[in-house]
Structures are given as structure tokens and as C-alpha cells.
Amino acid sequence: MVGGESQKKRVVVVGGGVGGAFLAKKMQFDADVVLIDPKEYFEIPWACLRSMVEPSFAERALIKHTDYFTNGRVVTSHAIGITESEVLTEDGQTIKYDYLALATGHADPTPRSRKDRLEQFRQENDKIKSSSSVLIIGGGRMGVELAGEIAADYPEKNVTLIHDGPRLLEYIGPKASNKALKWLKSKRVEVLLEQSVDLDSITEGERVFTTSAGKSITADCLFVCVGSRPLGSTWLQETFLKESLDKSGRLMVDETLRVKGRSNIFAIGDITDIREIKLGYLAQKHAAVVAKNLKLLMEGGRESKLATYKAASTMVVVALGRKQAVAQLPFMTIGGRLPGMFKSKDLFVGWMRKGIGLDPRAV
């Protein structure tokens, strides 16, 4: 054994998304850290829409775990089970832990290798470039940001955005919805509200789509951005933590971000039941609180000294192409270039890279 290393406590972080990546990075010199993630890279999730119109953008937004997490072990596999002292992975490993941090936010089916993910963006981009008309189903943040990216970069294409609800971006306020709608219309995006397309009836290569209102839409390419992305907690349903999941599958945590009733298991990010809009910058705040608490517990500090987390009043910025955005702040909603300067130019990619100790610009 190398001197000292063996005495370090083992912290296992499950999920290498925004929260997990930041936590692993923060803990790597204080504990024996193992990061379990099915991908060999950390992806800045909201950059994927820009990467579909500009595939090279993904070069900075897909970061190999080993590039920022240099003093720990990466296990490239899904976690499929846990006991009170071990995590089991799909590739057959059993990993012991002293402390566990669950950060499995959303389980999007993305490729394991960074190279394949980059190729996926190239293919999406070819699909967009070779189409003269695009149909996007779903007017949540994914559908709206994608429509914005395509409308801004390919103004000659006919873009239709269809949403089954009464307004776009229903997870935030109506003012933000209206501003986004107005901007999309100004860019010639046809927005159809309170209409849907039966996804089960769509066949491969189909170009004509009929909406629930009987409208016929012709589109060379289709993007489906509907429904909530699957939460990364299904695997916990067969474990002793199943009692710790709320009705929607989120882990119930206390104010120290420990799973309720557990002394050595924490949860951060979208997987938690914290009553706030689920956002990456909040997942990072959770990671900072948990890092503090892990360090304190490992040093034998008192429970009463544990840091606590208070649900934040949120700030949401939805990018509308490369220059504009709509921002919902605690006391007002603004649209246009000002919030656009904040998010839309670089989509916080440089800032996120800096946050994990990498050059904001270079790959």
C-alpha cells in the first residue's frame, strides 16, 4: 500500500453529470474517490442543442472524466444495485464505500464513448442541413432551445414547433413563455399550441404528419422533445433505498443533503426531492455542500456542524439562438440581448470548464 492512501475513506459518487462531476473533482484529494458513470465523459447537458447545429461546439462540452478527475478511479458502467456498504455495477464490479453520493439525475441514452457522441452530433447536423423543413414536437426547454438554434443558424429552413399545452416552457412563468413565443415567431418558426402528433403512428422516413387538430405538416426531419427525460433512479427501486424515493422517483433528502434517515448516503442534483427548479448550477451548489459535509464527517466533526442547503429562488435562462434569451429572475422576466449575453453566446461552457479546472477555451 502506498503511504497514507489506504487510510483515506472511500467516497463513491454515482453519476458523472453536473453534480457528480463537480463533487468528484472537489473530493479527489481528500478521499479515495470512485466515480461511476456509464459514459467515459462528462457532458454539459444544455450544450447539446448548439452541438446539433454546430457539431464542433461539442468538442469543449464533452469532457473526458479523466481530464478533470485526475486523482481517483472512474468506473465506466451503470450502477445497478447497492447494499449498505457496496455498489454493484452492470459490468460485474462490487465497489465498497464508506460514503456514497447519488447523482444520477437523468438517464439519457447517450453513447459510452466521447468519439461516438461527437459522431452523433455530426449526424444530427447532417440531418438538419439536408432538410428544408424541420418539425420539433414538444415545447419544453429542449424543444424551444432547439427551435431557437435552428431558426438562428438556418433562417432559410421552415421550422414548426408543436406543443400539446396552452403555452411554451410550462415549467416557468407565462411571461417567459410569451417572450419565447414572440421571438420564435419573429424568426418565422410556426408554433402550434394545444396540438399533438401521435408518436406511435409515426413510421420511419415519414414526411407528412397530422396533428390532433387535423392539420397536416410536411417536414423533412423530425425531432421529438416530449415528455420528461427519464430520471436516473429506476435502479434504486429494487434496493433498500426504495423507501427513500418519493412518488415521482426522487430521493428524499434532509437539509444536509443526506438521504433521509441515512448517515453516510448523500444525494445531489436533479435526483433529489428539493423543491426548486432542477438546474445544473444548483446541482453544483449541492455538490459544494456535500463536499463540505463529507470532509467534516471524515475528519470526525460534529453532526451539528454539518452545512445545510436551502432551496434556492431560481433564475432560469432559456437561450434563443446565439444572441438572445429569456430570463426568469426572482422578481422579473426579461428577454432579448441582455440575458442573451449571459447565456446564449457560449452557453456557460467556458464557465463550466473553468469550474472543473480546465481551460475555458481549449479542448
Give whichever of 36 and 289 is closer to ligand FAD, judged by the CB atom: 36
Among 12, 13, 15, 349, binds ligand FAD (CB under 6 A): 15
Closest CA to 163 of 75, 86, 227: 227
Give whichever of 162 and 211 is closer to ligand FAD, judged by the CB atom: 162
Site string for ligand FAD, 232-271 (x = CB under 6 A): x--x---------------------------------xxx
Among 278, 292, 295, 345, binds ligand FAD (CB under 6 A): 278
Among 172, 279, 290, 349, binds ligand FAD (CB under 6 A): 279
Count of other CB atoms within 10 angstroms of residue 258: 20
Say whether residue 35 binds ligand FAD (CB under 6 A).
no
- Exposed/middle/buried for 332, CB within 10 Å: 0-12, 13-18, 19+? exposed
- Contact status, residue 334 vs residue 340, Cβ threshold 8 Å: no
Q: How far is the CB of 302 from ligand FAD (least distance, A)?
A: 29
Among 25, 32, 33, 38, binds ligand FAD (CB under 6 A): 38
Rounded Cα–Cα distance for residues 282 and 178 (Å): 25
Of residues 167 through 206, those in contact with ligand FAD by CB under 6 A are none
- Contact status, residue 356 vs residue 25, Cβ threshold 8 Å: yes
Amino acid (1-letter code) at residue 350: G
Strand partners, 73: 34
Q: What are phi and psi of 144, to 5 degrees?
A: -70, -45
Q: How far is the CB of 194 from ligand FAD (least distance, A)?
A: 22
Cβ-closest residue to ligand FAD?
17
Strand partners, 325: 319, 336
Give whichever of 62 and 219 is closer to ligand FAD, judged by the CB atom: 62
Q: Which three cell numbers stand for residue 119?
A: 459522431
Give whichever of 217 and 231 is closer to ligand FAD, judged by the CB atom: 231
Say whether residue 148 binds ligand FAD (CB under 6 A).
no
**Residue 247 neighbours by CB under 8 Å, 6+ apart:** none
Q: How far is the CB of 51 from ligand FAD (least distance, A)?
A: 12
Q: How far is the CB of 49 from ligand FAD (least distance, A)?
A: 6
Name the DSSP letter for residue 223: E
Say whether residue 32 binds ligand FAD (CB under 6 A).
no
C-alpha triplet 202, 149, 338: angle, nearest 5°: 145
Of residues 210 through 229, those in contact with ligand FAD by CB under 6 A are none
Closest CA to 278 of 185, 171, 351, 190: 171
Count of other CB atoms within 10 angstroms of residue 302: 8
Distances (CA, A) of 41 to 15, 102, 149: 11, 17, 24
Element spanning 162, H or E: strand 158-163
Closest CA to 193 of 210, 171, 212, 220: 212
Q: How far is the CB of 143 from ligand FAD (least distance, A)?
A: 9
Q: How far is the CB of 222 from ligand FAD (least distance, A)?
A: 18
Say whether residue 72 binds ligand FAD (CB under 6 A).
no
Closest CA to 35 of 108, 89, 116: 89
Say whether residue 145 binds ligand FAD (CB under 6 A).
yes
Give whichever of 89 and 293 is closer to ligand FAD, judged by the CB atom: 89
Site string for ligand FAD, 284-323 (x = CB under 6 A): ---------------------------------x------
Among 283, 289, 297, 349, binds ligand FAD (CB under 6 A): 283
Residues that bind ligand FAD (CB under 6 A): 14-20, 36-39, 45-46, 78-79, 103-107, 141-142, 145, 232, 235, 269-271, 278-281, 283, 317, 343
